[in-house]
Structure 1
Amino acid sequence: MESNRDIAFVEFLGSEIVELHTATRSESIKIHRKLLESKYNTSIAALRHDFKGRAMRITFAETRYETVAQFVEWAYRGDYSVLTLSADLPGETKSEDSSSLEGGVKMSADDFSKARTPSQSTPASSSDGSPAHTLLCHLQVYIFSDLNMIPALKDLAFAKFTAVLKSMGKPRSMTEQLAVVDCLELTFSKVPFHDKLPGWLAQHAAWCMEELRLQGRFHDLLRRLPGVGSRMMNSLRPCQLPPWESQLRDYSVQLYDAHASSDDSGIF
């Protein structure tokens, strides 16, 4: 049964639609203009001035299609589904929960009442059962929210991202270790250094140093982004023995790359 609140919200949405485009797919995702204005704060003036009399369109040149779809889902439902990454990375699929938002958003009050309930999707996993892709999914939503100044979505993505790491514990498998390395690289490349996430993730990396240093890509990351090691130093303990009283272990570093290609590594 339609509630007065749902009817009022549908009336608030109106009929004006904005098309959201990305660099990773040709199709657009549609959202009600008033809802976008209420959630997305950085382009309100442009929305009210530049689009009169023609199709309203925003292009996110550095954001993946899946991330924008999650933003739209959150705007309507108050939550977002876990979407594995697009087909440019191996083993990826798309959640069906957000598909109803693609290609059109003509909702009745009853449609909205159903859609506004947060979806309870199963977290995406890689082939060995690890939540590697889930980590990157939440991190990309976090980066999008930070760049576009959407604090409520940013807080939600932070809570989901850190909950996955807490549930995972120390990354025991190669896939989990490489996922953490990917998260470190994305965070220290895309997130401001003063943000809470770089320090939080650096402390996590310091906590699971024994596992991460088995991967050659982690050592490469420390050379390319010295800020990672610098922040980790705040949480690392001094060595317990001098070199003349201990024997350094010779780690065998396996050559492995979790990505098929890095052509769009700048796209989150």
Structure 2
Amino acid sequence: MEEARIVPYFEFLDSDPVSLQVAHTGRSFRIHRRLLHAKSPPLIAALDSNLKEGQSGVYEFQEVAEGTIARFIEWAYRGDYPATVSGTNIGQIPTLLESTETNIDKKPASTTPKSHFTPENHPLLVHIRLYMFSETYLVPDLQQLAYEKVAACLTDLDKPKSLDTTLVVIDALRLSFPRLPQHDRLLDWLLRYAAYCLDKLREQGPFHDLLEEFPTLSSRMMMSLGPASSPPWRTTQPTNLFGGYPVK
């Protein structure tokens, strides 16, 4: 794939800024109008309309996290985004950390306050949120980049080696499956990955809860699963099917 075109500063620096606001926190991030026009036609169309967004110059996101908006703006200006976002000031272009670590089974080497991974800043979930944002707001270059970063995360991981990382993979499936189109290429990639590391996932109660909540997830994974390694008369039934979780 060709690299996304970086918009030269002289093409947008003389345009007025507009604001992208996160509804549940009220925090706003500013971006030059012409740059936003080059990156996301649906967003600029709303801001150029006679609707409330056009009148106020503010586009409000109802179900998008602050970090996703910050990374989108970082990518719009610089052509890339890191997984970790530092503190930001309301109304200013966000400051992002330079680290682009993709190995999701390790803690970051550099230390900043609260630098450990959480559901909000874990690289795998960060990239998936950017992918879904790009799907909604028609940002194909960012969507391709996020897709590649998800693939790099899971390729480096191979299979989860810790409980925390296994649970993050389950969170990734829970985040993606109900929100992405059923024939989306990233969703297909994630389901094939889940089938590959099923031996790790099936030990966790939350994975079984997920399968119960979304039965079609099982049928989609089935296309990538192989036969059992041995017949039932040569197999010992485990005493605890879900690792540390009690059998329901």
What is the distance in 2 between the residues matched to 1:7 and 1:220? 45
1:235 has 2:236 as partner: no
The corresponding residue for 1:46 is: 46
User: Any idea what SS the aligned residue of 1:237 has?
Assistant: coil
Q: Mean alpha-carbon deviation: is it higher for 225-234 or for 237-246?
A: 237-246
Shift of 1:152: 0.5
**What root-mean-square deviation, in Å, do the aligned CA atoms of Structure 1 and Structure 2 show?**
3.0
Alignment of 1:42-191 (within 5 A): 42-50=42-50, 54-83=55-84, 94-95=85-86, 99=88, 103-104=91-92, 120-123=98-101, 129=107, 133-191=122-180
Shift of 1:255: 4.6
- Contact (CA 8 Å) 2:20, 2:28: kept in 1 or not? yes
TM superposition score normalised by structure 2: 0.81
1:205 has 2:190 as partner: no
What is the distance in 2 between the residues matched to 1:66 and 1:138? 11
**CA 1:127–1:206 in structure 2 vs 1: closer, same or farther (change >3 Å)?**
closer
Gapped regions of structure 1 (runs ≥ 5): 1-5, 84-93, 106-114, 257-268
1:37 has 2:37 as partner: yes
TM superposition score normalised by structure 1: 0.75
The corresponding residue for 2:237 is: 248
- Contact (CA 8 Å) 2:102, 2:152: kept in 1 or not? no
Shift of 1:189: 1.3
Shift of 1:43: 3.5
The corresponding residue for 1:219 is: 208
User: Any idea what SS the aligned residue of 1:20 has?
Assistant: strand
**CA 1:179–1:40 in structure 2 vs 1: closer, same or farther (change >3 Å)?**
same
Structure 1 residues 182-203: Cα deviation after superposition (integer angstroms, max 9, x where no partner): 0011110111111001111111
Percent of aligned positions that are identical: 39
Gapped regions of structure 2 (runs ≥ 5): 1-5, 109-116
User: Any idea what SS the aligned residue of 1:31 has?
Assistant: strand
What is the distance in 1 between the residues matched to 2:185 and 2:220? 12
Paired letter, 2:177: F
Runs of 4+ in structure 1 deviating by more than 4 angstroms, as ranges, are: 51-54, 124-128
User: Any idea what SS the aligned residue of 1:154 has?
Assistant: helix
Shift of 1:128: 6.5
**CA 1:238–1:198 in structure 2 vs 1: closer, same or farther (change >3 Å)?**
same
Structure 1 residues 37-90: Cα deviation after superposition (integer angstroms, max 9, x where no partner): 11012133332233799541101101001101100110100001212xxxxxxx
What is the distance in 2 between the residues matched to 1:176 and 1:52? 40
What is the distance in 2 between the residues matched to 1:201 and 1:233? 13
Shift of 1:230: 1.1
Q: Aligned residues, how many?
A: 227
Shift of 1:219: 0.6
Paired letter, 2:149: K
Shift of 1:104: 3.2
